[in-house]
Amino acid sequence: MWIKHLQLTHFRNHEDTKSDFEEHINCLVGKNGSGKTNLLDGIYYLCIGRGAFSYTDTQHLQHGKTFFSLKGTFEKDNRKNTVHCIIEKGKQKTIKLNGKPYPKISEHVGNFPCVLLAPNDTDLIREGSELRRNFFDTIISQIHKNYIQLLIKQKQLLKQRNQLLKDADQQERFLKKDVLEIYDAQLLPIFSEIYRFRNEFIDNFLPIFSEIYAALADEEMKINYRSHLEEENFETIFKENLLKDVILQRTEKGTHRDDYKFILGKKMLKHYGSQGQQKSFVIALKLATFSIIYNQTQIKPILLLDDIFDKLDENRIENLLKLLSKSDFGQVFVTDARPERTRKLLDSFGRPIAFFEVKNGTIIQ
């Protein structure tokens, strides 16, 4: 699967950008701020149904404009597919596949898989658990169609349950326990299903990740998945936690509190990992994401590599290029502010490479 044509209208710094791309490696070069990352964000949006760097659609809108439009032509299974996203102020987002709107935006996720590696991905290591949950949930959603529906339902039920807790006082006198029991009866099975999906996923993901990281650096890295549902008799613990939930006015136990711990040797990566180690870790995460999506769906995701050589020493760059050149990643996009460096580094690939110059929101091959 690959994207053949892209059109961005009023998207970030792209007034009206159109370009055709090649099936293999596409290298976008240009100064910082020229719009390279925004092009990758546009492709990501067409694939996933939201932006990579902001969950708020209006933040993608050019100043003074009332809408933005993204349109892409994808080659998949020897057929052309057109995806059109339209976001207009004051109206619901619309995503169309071959001219037909999806009844639900969530139905689009997984149809055109995509993996983006960006400079700020090391935030996954340093920031809070929500970012890590969202990262792994996005992967699982591209593999299993019904998983995203579980996440949506969990979010709705937690919102309703938390509102019920806020309406009660700390002595539970005004807590509507009959309504709470209805929410809990729906929520607990959803927790179990989400936990099952995540547990099975990480079991399959870890061997792939470990092999890729070993090819990049000679260090021991691990990912430990942690969940309240590991505890025996979770349902009993969940119900016994009600008083604390009322006091805090939120649901404290459940898969919405899961986390993934990134371990360097026996220490936390975020505390003891160098910039190079952290960058290598997220590169391995993203390349393993590509592999597991391909293994389980037989669709090669589009691979978007934004400023991939930043903060890597020569040895790690050499190992990365060897890894990329030995693997058939399908369509790849690479951005760099230093075209001479990029040409030199990619010369050894032995695969067709198309170069594009991005300048002030325009693109020239």
DSSP 65-84: -SEEEEEEEEEETTEEEEEE
**Under 8 Å CB-to-CB from 184, ≥6 apart: which residues?**
161, 238, 239
Q: Which CATH class for the 123-297 domain?
A: mainly alpha
Instruction: Kindly report, as residue ranges, where domains of CATH 1.20.1050.90 are found in the chain.
Output: 123-297
pLDDT tens per residue across all 365 residues of the chain: 999 999 999 999 999 999 999 998 899 999 888 999 999 999 999 999 999 987 688 888 888 899 999 999 999 989 999 999 999 988 899 999 999 999 999 999 999 999 999 988 999 999 999 999 999 999 999 999 899 999 999 999 999 999 999 888 655 667 888 899 999 999 999 999 999 999 999 999 999 999 999 988 888 899 999 999 999 999 999 999 998 998 899 999 999 999 999 999 889 999 999 988 998 899 999 999 999 999 999 999 999 999 887 777 777 777 777 777 766 788 999 998 887 877 877 776 767 789 999 988 889 88
pLDDT for the residue numbered 26:
92
Q: 262 has which bridge partners?
A: 223
pLDDT for the residue numbered 170:
59
3-state helix, strand, coil in the chain (%, to 5): 50, 25, 30
What does the pLDDT look like over 225-262, one tens digit per residue? 999 999 999 999 999 999 899 889 999 999 999 999 99
Q: Which CATH architecture has domain 1-113+299-365?
A: 3-Layer(aba) Sandwich (3.40)
pLDDT for the residue numbered 173:
63
| Two tokens, residue 361 | 């929101």
Residue (of 305, 312, 314, 222) closest to 276 by Cα position: 312
Please give the single-letter amino acid code of residue 335.
Answer: T
Count of beta carbons in the 10 Å neighbourhood of residue 236: 10
Instruction: Kindly report, as residue ranges, where domains of CATH 3.40.50.300 are found in the chain.
Output: 1-113+299-365
User: What are the C-alpha distances in Å from 221 to residues 146, 224, 314?
Assistant: 31, 10, 21
Number of helices (H) and strands (E) in the chain: give both, helices first: 11, 15
What does the pLDDT look like over 149-166, one tens digit per residue? 999 999 999 999 999 998
Count of beta carbons in the 10 Å neighbourhood of residue 67: 15
